[in-house]
Homo-oligomer: A and B are copies of this chain.
Amino acid sequence: MTTDRIRSLINRLSRLDAGADWEADLNPAQRAALDYLVRANRFSRSPSVVADYLGSTRGTVSQTLKSLARKGYLVEERSSADKRSISYRVTEAGLREAARTGPLAEALAGIGEPDLLALANDLEGLLRRAVRAGGNKPFGICRNCLHFRPREEGGFCALLSVALEPDETHRICHEQEPA
């Protein structure tokens, strides 16, 4: 079965790549959370949302984020609007850790850009299907959202009624609905 082969390949690739994380004093779950937080906008950096993204639970993610904070890669930022929720901000040290590369990144570096783009698109399509199959939220980029309104500088979110900084419009949002 080709499907089994692909499943096995994806898991092995991810596993080999994760092996390199340990040298960076992050485990795979911590790395995955940090990777997400680096790319997420300010509305999407709470334990609940990270849990949703990673297909995990609030309890687990809560612990993961606390341990990343202990290591100095994240900072808690309690919201004044909703006193229940917490947003985590990635620190400079966190950005440095997130930028570390493993064997997978090395392997990708040796491939030409056209092939990379084709592979990225294939995998993106596959992810879309897997997300549908598993009943997860899409978690797309702000800019490609139903509620996104472009402005001269940055944009505006019609759902949350807030102005968006230019670089925020390229970040992952948990409210995103594909346009």
Contacts and interface: CB of A to CB of B under 8 A. Distances in A.
A127 B6 CA distance: 11
A26 interface: no
A146 interface: no
Interface string A123-158: 110110111111010000000000000000000000
**Copies held by the complex:** 2
Interface in A159-179: none
Contacts of A133: 103-104, 106-107
User: Which secondary structure dominates where chain A touches chain B?
Assistant: helix
B122 A119 contact: yes
Interface stretch (A14-22, A65-73, A76-84, A87-95): A14-22
A13 B134 contact: no
Contacts of A107: 126-127, 129-130, 132-133
Contact of A110 (B32, B118, B120, B129): B129
Nearest to A98: B4
A107 to B, nearest CB: 3
A6 B120 contact: yes
29 contacts: A2-B120, A4-B105, A6-B108, A6-B119, A6-B120, A7-B17, A7-B105, A10-B17, A10-B123, A11-B31, A12-B32, A12-B127, A13-B127, A14-B14, A14-B15, A15-B32, A15-B55, A19-B55, A103-B131, A103-B133, A103-B134, A104-B133, A106-B134, A107-B130, A107-B133, A108-B129, A110-B129, A111-B126, A111-B129
Which 4 pairs across A and B sit closest by C-beta, in order of nearness?
A107-B129, A103-B134, A14-B14, A106-B133
